Chain A
Amino acid sequence: MTTETTAAKRTALYDEHVRLGARLIPFGGFDMPVQYSSILKEHEAVRHRAGLFDLSHMGQFILEGENVAQWADALTVNAVSTMKPGQARYNIFTNEQGGALDDVIFYKLPDRWLLVVNASNAGKMWAHLNAHLGQGVKLASLHGRNALVAIQGPKSVEMLAPHVDIDISALKYYFCAEGSVYGKRAVIARTGYTGEDGFELFVDGADAQEIWNALLRDNESGGLIPAGLGARDVLRLEAGMPLYGHELTEEITPVQAGLNWAVKLSKPDFTGKAALEEQVAQDAYPRIVGIVMDGRAPAREGYHVFLGDRLAGEIRSGSIAPSVQNKNIATALVEKEASAPGTPVVVHIRGTAYGATVVPLPFYKRS
C-alpha cells in the first residue's frame, strides 16, 4: 500500500458521484461526496427509508493465519478470541497510554478476517500493524482496490433482499456472511454508522458501479437516495457513535469516550491496559458527554464549555439534530464535575454565553 499522498484519490464510484451532482471534498485521502441533494434530506431518507453510501475510502485489511485472534487481542481493548465465524465486533487499537490509535471493526469470516479502519488512519494503522506482525499472522491491504457500499435505513432489508443470495433478514446485527449482490461476490455485514438497521457490502472495486447503480435504480420508488458524509456525520452523532479525531484520539482513551463496554480489562494483557485500569480506578478523568443546547445557536467543535465561571471542557462535535426535536446537540470533553446528566453548563459562542444541559448518550435510539 502506498502512504497518503497530497493528490486526492478516487473511489470506484467517483464517476457516479459526479454524475449524481455530488459536492466532493477531500477526506481521508479521497475525493468524497459530502452531499448530493441536501444533508437534511439525505438524513431524513436514512431515518425513514434508506440511504446509499460510498464508504470505499475506509481502509480494508485482510488478516490470515492461526494466530490472528491472539495477536489482535494483545493490541486492542475488546475481545477478538471469543469471536465466532460470521461475527463482527467493534474494537479500538490503543497506545501505551491507553489513547486510541483507531477505532475499527473486525469481521471474522470462515477462512480470514476483514479489518476495517478509518480512512484518515489507514496509513498509520498499516504501519502500526506491520510493525507488530507476529508469527502466524499475514496482513494484506485492499485499501483503494475494494469498495464498500452501505445501505442504511429501516427499509434496507426489503430493498436489498431481492438482490442477494443469502437470507439477510436472518443475519443478526453485527454479523456478516459471504454471498453475492446482483451476482457479484460480496461480504455482506449487518453493520453501520447511522443508528439505523442496514448493511455494509464489501465488494470488488470493479463491481461497485454496477451494484451501486442497480440498487438506486431498483429502489428509486421505495425512496432510496445516495447519501454523503455530511448526513452520515449527523446520523452517527445523533446515535452517539464516536468519530475518530473527535470523541476518540491518541489523547482521548476509550474509557474517557464512555466506551467501557468495549474495554475488556479481564483480558490477560493488551497495549495500554495498565493505563486504562488506573484511569478507571481513579475515576478522575475528563470524559465525553452529550450536550443539548437550550437555544438555537449550534455548538461547534472547539467551543469552550463552562461550569459556572470555570472552564470545564470543550465541544468535540456538534450539529443540528433533526431526530432530536431539531435541537442543537454536541459532544464535549469535560471534567468529571461537569459530566453528570442534568448538569447545566454554558457554551461560549463568538463571545456570548449560551445555556446548555448535559444529557446521556445516545441522543437518538431507533424504536
Chain B
Amino acid sequence: MAQPADLLYSKEHEWIKVDGDTATVGITDYAQNSLGDIVYVELPKVGASLAQFSSVGVVESVKAVSDLFTPIGGEVTEVNAELENDPALVNREPYAGGWMFKVKLSDGAQTGALLSPADYDKLIAE
C-alpha cells in the first residue's frame, strides 16, 4: 500500500506534513488499522513545547491504550478538537480529518531523522 507522497513518517507510525515553519501531525493508516476502532485520543495542550520523538499523548482503541509520539519538536499551535467527539475520524481519515495537532517547528533539520514514503513502506512490509 503506497503512502501519501507529500508526508514524512516516523518509526512509531506517525506522519507529518511540513508547511513552511509549521507541521501537521497524525498517525498512519497502518497505525489506525493495527489499533482498530479508536475511541479516545488525548492530545498535547496548545502552547506545550514538545521534544522530538517524545510521548505527547495517547490513542485508545476499544482494547488498548497506545502512546502517541511526536515525530518533530516544537510548540503546539493547534489541536484537532473534532477528535474529542469523533475519535473514529482517525480510522476513517487518518491523513485528512483525523490529523491530531500542529506544531511550530523548533528545528527544521529534525525532519532529516524521518522516513520517506518509500522507506516507511519498507518498514511496514517487514
Count of chain A residues near B, Cβ 8 A: 16
**B62 contacts A234, CB within 8 Å?**
yes
User: Given B36, B40, B84, which contacts A298 in the complex, CB threshold below 8 Å?
Assistant: B40
Q: Is the CB of B39 within 8 A of A320?
A: yes
Quick one: CB contact mask for B27-65 with A, threshold 8 Å, 1 for yes? 000000000110110100000000000000010111101
A35 interface residue per 8 A CB criterion: yes
Interface pair B65/A39, CB less than 8 Å apart:
no
CA distance A40 to B58 in the complex (A): 20
Which residues of A are found within 8 Å of B40, using beta-carbon distances?
296-298, 320
- Min Cβ gap A227→B in Å is 13
Q: Which residues of B contact A350 (CB under 8 A)?
A: 42, 58
The complex places the Cα of A202 from the Cα of B49 at a distance, in Å, of 58
Q: Which residue of A40, A230, A300, A319 is within 8 Å of B65 (Cβ)?
A: A300
CB distance from A298 to the nearest CB of B (A): 5
**CB of A271 within 8 Å of the partner chain:** no
Q: Is A69 an interface residue (CB 8 A)?
A: no
- Establish whether residues B36 and A38, one from each chain, have CB atoms under 8 Å apart when the complex forms: yes
Q: Which of chain A's residues has its CB closest to B60's CB?
A: A298
With a CB–CB cut-off of 8 A, which chain A residues contact B65? 298, 300
B39 touches A298 (CB 8 A): yes
Closest to B64 in A: A300
Contact with B along A303-344 (1 / 0, CB 8 A): 000000000000000011000000000000000000000000
Contacts of A297 in B (CB 8 A): 40, 42
Partner of A296, one of B61, B63, B84: B84
Q: Give chain B nearest CB distance to A86 CB in angstroms.
A: 37
Query: Is there a chain B Cβ closer than 8 Å to A101's Cβ?
Result: no
**B84 and A319 within 8 A (CB):** no
Task: State how many angstroms separate the Cβ of B94 from the closest Cβ of chain A.
Answer: 15
Q: How far is the CB of A149 from chain B (nearest CB, A)?
A: 23
B62-A320 in contact (CB<8A): yes
Q: Nearest B residue to A234 by beta-carbon distance?
A: B62
Residues of B within 8 A of A298 (CB): 39-40, 60, 65
Nearest Cβ in chain A — how far from B84, in angstroms? 7
A103 to B62: give the CA distance in the assembly, Å. 25
Q: Is A276 an interface residue (CB 8 A)?
A: no
Instruction: Determine if B63 and A39 form an interchain contact, defined as CB atoms under 8 angstroms apart.
Output: yes
* Cα–Cα, bound, A296→B61 (Å): 13
**In the complex, chain B residues whose CB is within 8 Å of the CB of A319:** 62
- Tell me the complex Cα distance, A34–B58, Å: 22
Residues in A with CB closer than 8 Å to B36 are: 23, 35, 38-39, 230
Neighbouring A residues of B62 by C-beta, 8 Å? 39-40, 230, 234, 319-320
* A320–B63 alpha-carbon span in the complex (Å): 9
In whole Å, how far is A76's beta carbon from the nearest beta carbon of chain B? Answer: 32
**How far does the alpha carbon of A35 sit from the alpha carbon of B65 in the complex, in Å?**
17
Write out the residue numbers on chain A whose beta carbons fall within 8 Å of the beta carbon of B60. Answer: 298
Chain B residues whose C-beta falls within 8 Å of the C-beta of A34 in the assembled complex: 63
Q: How far is the CA of A319 from the CA of B63 in the complex (A)?
A: 8
Give me 13 A-to-B residue pairs in the complex whose CB atoms sit less than 8 angstroms apart, sorted by A's number: A23-B36, A38-B36, A39-B36, A39-B37, A40-B37, A230-B63, A233-B63, A296-B40, A298-B65, A319-B62, A320-B39, A320-B40, A350-B42
Given contacts A38-B37, A39-B37, A40-B37, 6 further A-B contacts (CB under 8 A): A38-B36, A40-B62, A230-B36, A296-B84, A297-B42, A350-B58
